[in-house]
Amino acid sequence: MANAARIYRQDEQNELARQADASLLHYGTSWYPEVIVHASGQTVTTASGHSMLDWTSGQMSCLIGHGHPEIVQTLREHAQSLDHLFSGMLSPPVIRLANRLTSLTPPGLDKAFFLSTGGESNEAAIRLAKLYTGKFEIVGLASSWHGMTGNALGAQYHAGRAGYGPSAVGNFALPTPNAYRSIFRHPDGSYDWRTELDYGFGMIDRQSCGSLAAVIMEPILSSGGMLVVPPGYIKAMKEHCEKRGMLLIIDEAQTGIGRAGDMFAFQHFAEDEGVVPDILTLSKTLGNGLPLSAVVTSNTIAEVTKEKGFLFYTTHVNDPLPAAVGDKVLEIVVRDNLVSRSRSLGENFQERLHQLMDRYGCIGDVRGRGLMAGVEIVANRETKESAPELGNAIGKRLTELGVWAQLATIASFGGGFRIAPPLTTTDEELERGLKAFEEAFASTEGTMPLYGSRDDAGEHGAVQRCC
């Protein structure tokens, strides 16, 4: 991958930037100031020749790295022989992907179809739930992100609701399960998520007109700040859904296919054992950065909605080219034991980030699982006041040191880093990236070191407190 041909020159930065300003419409985030001209493996390279480890895996998508040779070969073969078909036609890649995917999901997730984006798959899942239940009210979590289309956006509360008029009718929000910031606490100060969840449903019951169709949720709220839902939360959510005749939709756009150390993140906790969502949505990681998403549901829901005439007919539904890539991604992940690799490498990854928190007072919290982590930057650990400007300064220093970890500059991210290296990350690449993190915090003003001097740090950033 390192020797892949480069098709753009590294001396066009100024002209490319001028053309971008002249012709590109902004869409909600500040652009990184340099144009990217090459991506290979875990590395992206700018027009000025600066290379960085890509620790966001593109848009949290390139699960097995940029330009993976088997993915490139699959694209080449299918682009030449089987690229796009009439949406009512089937092809071997679609059938094989459906079979491989449903062989990896538990019983109750039996049938799948394939679309282009995560927003599209969540749109389809919500539409499926409404048709199956005959109801229309949808519940989401208050820091959720599910996409930019109508129903998906209506169930999304992280950002982007103001200024566009009313969202879809019948949308409600549950409190964000944020163990770091929630006001729901036991007498000992620990997080009381169950009371919070029960309270949230009590409020929804008072607002509902009696037509609750589904809950849609992420097992780790990535855009919300890498918030891991507590052990037992998914089971409790499923119980609330069943009590009200609702379906449970789990959105694993970012957590699925091994990213968080399990094939699917909803399977992680023993306290949630046996819980299967009624509908599972996948995207991002399934296509390794190509536009591919999936909706997976039970035989029962598939049969009932077929009889009712479920319609989600798009230009690129079940397209063979992206399906062939998704099938190859699943083959590689299983064949190369990348789920267990994510889990084992992730243990070191998470431990080292916690060591960093012990060394710098500006880190209020570290959370995540597997090769998926959040680092929240605060101005004061006692008040938990966010420090977005400091977060941006650390992020800028990181890019100078050769690690890209600042996914977006949207204000609602609050200075928190969301980090997701590819599952194919080597031990050496992980060590190089972690050392860059240490250097970025050590060399950025305002990070509040908790040690006497930089020489006190010890090997690999081991904690040696001065007081």
pLDDT band at residue 67 using 50, 70 and 90 as cut-offs: very high
Q: How confident is the model at residue 1, as a pLDDT?
A: 45
12 occurs within a structural domain = no
pLDDT band at residue 408 using 50, 70 and 90 as cut-offs: low
124 occurs within a structural domain = yes
Alpha carbons 38 and 35: distance in angstroms, whole number: 9
pLDDT tens-digit map of 291-347: 999 999 999 999 999 999 999 999 999 999 999 999 999 999 999 999 999 999 999
CB neighbours of 150 closer than 8 A, spacing ≥ 6?
123, 167, 168
174 occurs within a structural domain = yes
What average pLDDT does the structure give for the chain?
92
Domains of the chain: total: 2
Q: Are residues 309 and 401 in the same domain?
A: no
CA 122 to chain centre: 14
User: Is 404 tagged catalytic?
Assistant: no
- Which residue among the candidates 193, 418, 429, 438 is catalytic per the annotation? 418
208 occurs within a structural domain = yes
**Tokens describing residue 10:** 């590294």
Q: What is the mean pLDDT of residues 142-162?
A: 85
Q: Are residues 272 and 348 in the same domain?
A: no
Q: Where are the beta strands (DSSP E) in 132-278?
A: 137-141, 171-174, 212-217, 220-221, 227-228, 247-251
pLDDT tens-digit map of 99-117: 999 999 999 999 999 999 9
Give the lowest-confidence range in 16-25, 67-76, 159-168: 159-168
CA 250 to chain centre: 12
16 occurs within a structural domain = no
User: Is 341 tagged catalytic?
Assistant: no
CA distances from 351 to 19, 175, 183, 366 (A): 44, 29, 27, 10
State which residues form the domain around 448.
340-365+379-420+440-467
- Which residue among the candidates 284, 352, 367, 397 is catalytic per the annotation? 284
User: Is 130 tagged catalytic?
Assistant: no
- Which residue among the candidates 34, 137, 192, 218 is catalytic per the annotation? 218
Residue 192 has pLDDT above 90, yes or no: yes
Residue 174 has pLDDT above 60, yes or no: yes
pLDDT band at residue 407 using 50, 70 and 90 as cut-offs: low
Alpha-carbon Rg for the chain, nearest whole angstrom, is 22
- Which residue among the candidates 251, 262, 365, 376 is catalytic per the annotation? 251
244 occurs within a structural domain = yes
Q: Are residues 272 and 346 in the same domain?
A: no
pLDDT band at residue 4 using 50, 70 and 90 as cut-offs: low
pLDDT tens-digit map of 419-436: 999 999 999 999 999 999
- The answer to whether 156 and 147 are in contact (CB under 8 A) is yes
- The answer to whether 121 and 287 are in contact (CB under 8 A) is no
373 occurs within a structural domain = no
pLDDT band at residue 465 using 50, 70 and 90 as cut-offs: very low
pLDDT tens-digit map of 126-141: 999 999 999 999 999 9
Q: How confident is the model at residue 11, as a pLDDT?
A: 65
53 occurs within a structural domain = no
Q: Are residues 145 and 259 in the same domain?
A: yes
Residue 166 has pLDDT above 70, yes or no: yes
User: Is 355 tagged catalytic?
Assistant: no
User: Is 367 tagged catalytic?
Assistant: no
